[in-house]
Amino acid sequence: MNYDSFCVPPGKKTKLSRHDPGFTGKFKSKEEAQEMLSADIEKLARLQDVLYAQDTYALLLIFQAMDAAGKDGIIKHIMSGVNPQGCQVFSFKAPSQEELDHDFLWRQMKALPERGRIGIFNRSYYEEVLIVRVHSEILNGQRIPTKEKNRKDIWKRRYEDINGIERYLTRNGIVILKFFLNVSKSEQKDRFLERIERPEKNWKFSFADLKERERWKDYMQAYEEMLNATSTEWAPWYVIPANKKWFARAAVADIVSDKLKSLNLRYPEVSEAHKKELLRAKKLLQGD
């Protein structure tokens, strides 16, 4: 399936209103998408094994979304076949006192995946141009110079910083894919109600989620500007239709597996001396 329409074109402007959260492409049901998802999970498992063995590239997946958009479910499903030794998942909540004493990228930079591994950020440094932008009181509480807080172009400067660090990372072999899970306000309402009505999901709901929902328009504006400013050739953003969880999972898995395949990963080649050692070891074992 072609996902070019989901990718925010670098250097151009996109409108979230033009992206249908309920889009499901050629799939008419969960069962139809499940076949592709299962195939991609198997493909990811194979490619991740080669990625780990080659020890040259790392893959960083960044997920951003409004509450109840399905980030946890996507991570759980698409990584279900991957060797846990080769995958790292970090969820970023409100920064600690220690983290506030560092620059806004610090806590994510120390969580970057090593070569050969897949790293997943469930929320990320992009919160610094989303929730911090929507809630000015958070910015006021950050320990950065007052003159920086008061700059009219503070968000533009943060976009520049993010683009710069992502270009640096990709030049060093960290491949970056970024996903905005685009869920509609009405679908979010239904998922909140489900969390309230089903006891096993009660723990997922916080009344604070409703306060954030009241700022929906502000968040959509912040997301749109962020997507347009930080979707680059080296670290593109994909706007994933997320009203149907089964479609979002299948789409993300397909994009990730295609990206890994494009790296032309290979198992390391051993030297002639090593091959001789293998033959010698084989003879010793067979004669044991």
Cα–Cα dist 47/184, whole Å:
33
Q: How sure is the predictor about 275, in pLDDT bands with cuts at 50, 70 and 90?
A: confident
Whether residue 268 is predicted with pLDDT greater than 80 in this model: the reply is yes
Q: What is the mean pLDDT of the chain?
A: 95
pLDDT tens, residue by residue, 153-189: 999 999 999 999 999 999 999 999 999 999 999 999 9
Identify the CA nearest to 90 among candidates 105, 73, 110: 110
Summarize the confidence of residues 48-70 as an average pLDDT: 97
Q: How far is CA 156 from the centre of its chain?
A: 22
Cα–Cα dist 105/126, whole Å:
9
pLDDT for 15 equals 95
pLDDT for 29 equals 86
Strand partners, 238: 7, 179
Whether residue 288 is predicted with pLDDT greater than 80 in this model: the reply is no
pTM of the model as a whole: 0.94
pLDDT greater at residue 270 or residue 75 = 75
pLDDT tens, residue by residue, 252-267: 999 999 999 999 999 9
pLDDT for 243 equals 98
pLDDT for 249 equals 96
Length of the chain: 288
Q: How far is CA 21 from the centre of its chain?
A: 18
pLDDT for 287 equals 84
pLDDT greater at residue 220 or residue 32 = 220
pLDDT tens, residue by residue, 195-214: 999 999 999 999 999 999 99
* Structural domains of the chain in order of their starting residue, each with its CATH number: 4-286 (3.40.50.300)
pLDDT for 153 equals 96
Whether residue 225 is predicted with pLDDT greater than 80 in this model: the reply is yes
For residue 126, give the amino acid letter: Y
pLDDT for 151 equals 94
Contacts for 266 with CB less than 8 Å, ≥ 6 apart: 50, 54
Backbone angles phi, psi at 173, to 5 degrees: 95, 10
pLDDT for 271 equals 85
pLDDT for 40 equals 95
Least confident range from 56-60, 141-145, 216-220: namely 141-145
Whether residue 101 is predicted with pLDDT greater than 80 in this model: the reply is yes
